């Protein structure tokens, strides 16, 4: 009885003419909402039949997400009555929470792409590439190159990578959202914060190295490991000094040409 009333309410809500036959009403409702029904039921069925054979938490999360999206799709077809508006509002709570968290989730993705991916790239290069081209690099040298090049690359190019990835993320979305998301993300994570994190990392490494040296204990299995980090720190400081004093190397081509002409004029031809 309740299902019959529910179906009749759904059909009557979406029909355009109240005096048309019931069969035409059903046809019009199916035309208007067929895609939502098929999509919602398909995702729901897939969530039910999907089996977690590997005991992976990801599969369980994926099933829950599919099930929720299916319910959210079908909930849009509920009649516009007070009780169903309340039900629809309750169903929408996770969706609203996800939308509110979306700027933070996108910031996490930008952080991964701008800061973590470069480190992983250099790690893969110096762990696997030397073996491919038969270059003999010991473990300490690899650690030194990975940390040094990663920190320098992150300081120079992390924000540019964030901008590129943010543009790709918002390729078909409003330009205003792309701009505000990038500004929000750079407020939370930027190259200055990265600099602070890098110095903090080296600061902790210095404390560990000093304690282990003065107390004559080995915190790590290899002494060369800490030596590689300290050498990386020295290289990074030299790099920072170069960046801070790069303005010294700026010169005006006009001034050089003008002074050159003045010198030439002093010669007698």
- The 10s digit of each residue's pLDDT in 67-117 is 877 887 777 777 778 888 888 888 888 888 888 888 898 899 899 888 988
Entry field: residues in the chain: 269
Q: Domain limits of the chain? A: 2-80, 100-259
pLDDT tens digits for 234-248?
999 999 998 888 777
- What's the pTM? 0.65
Angle, in degrees to the nearest 10, between helices 139-169 and 82-111: 140
Contact (Cβ atoms closer than 8 angstroms) between residue 47 and residue 72: no
C-beta of residue 221 within 8 angstroms of C-beta of residue 205: no
Instruction: Give the integer Cα–Cα distance in Å for 51 and 53.
Output: 6
Confidence of residue 2 (pLDDT cuts 50, 70, 90): very low
């Amino acid at each position: 009885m309740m299902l019959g009333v529910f179906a009749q309410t759904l059909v009557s809500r979406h029909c355009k003419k109240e005096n048309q036959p019931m069969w035409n009403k059903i046809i019009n409702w199916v035309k208007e909402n067929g895609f939502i029904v098929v999509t919602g039921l398909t995702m729901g069925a897939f969530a039910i039949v999907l089996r977690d054979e590997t005991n992976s938490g990801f599969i369980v999360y994926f099933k829950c997400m599919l099930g929720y999206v299916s319910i959210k799709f079908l909930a849009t077809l509920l009649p516009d009555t007070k009780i169903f508006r309340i039900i629809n509002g309750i169903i929408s709570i996770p969706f609203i929470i996800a939308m509110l968290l979306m700027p933070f989730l996108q910031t996490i993705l930008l952080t991964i792409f701008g800061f973590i991916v470069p480190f992983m790239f250099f790690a893969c290069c110096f762990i696997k590439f030397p073996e491919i081209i038969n270059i003999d690099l010991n473990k300490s040298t690899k650690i030194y190159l990975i940390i040094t090049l990663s920190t320098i690359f992150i300081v120079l190019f992390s924000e540019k990578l964030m901008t590129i990835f943010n543009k790709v993320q918002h390729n078909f979305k409003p330009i205003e959202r792309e701009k505000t998301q990038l500004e929000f993300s750079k407020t939370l994570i930027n190259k200055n914060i990265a600099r602070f994190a890098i110095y903090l990392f080296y600061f902790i490494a210095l404390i560990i190295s000093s304690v282990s040296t003065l107390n004559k204990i080995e915190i790590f299995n290899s002494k060369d490991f800490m030596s590689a980090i300290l050498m990386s720190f020295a290289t990074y400081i030299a790099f920072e000094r170069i960046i801070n004093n790069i303005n010294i190397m700026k010169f005006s081509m006009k001034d050089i040409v003008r002074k050159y002409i003045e010198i030439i004029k002093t010669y007698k031809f």
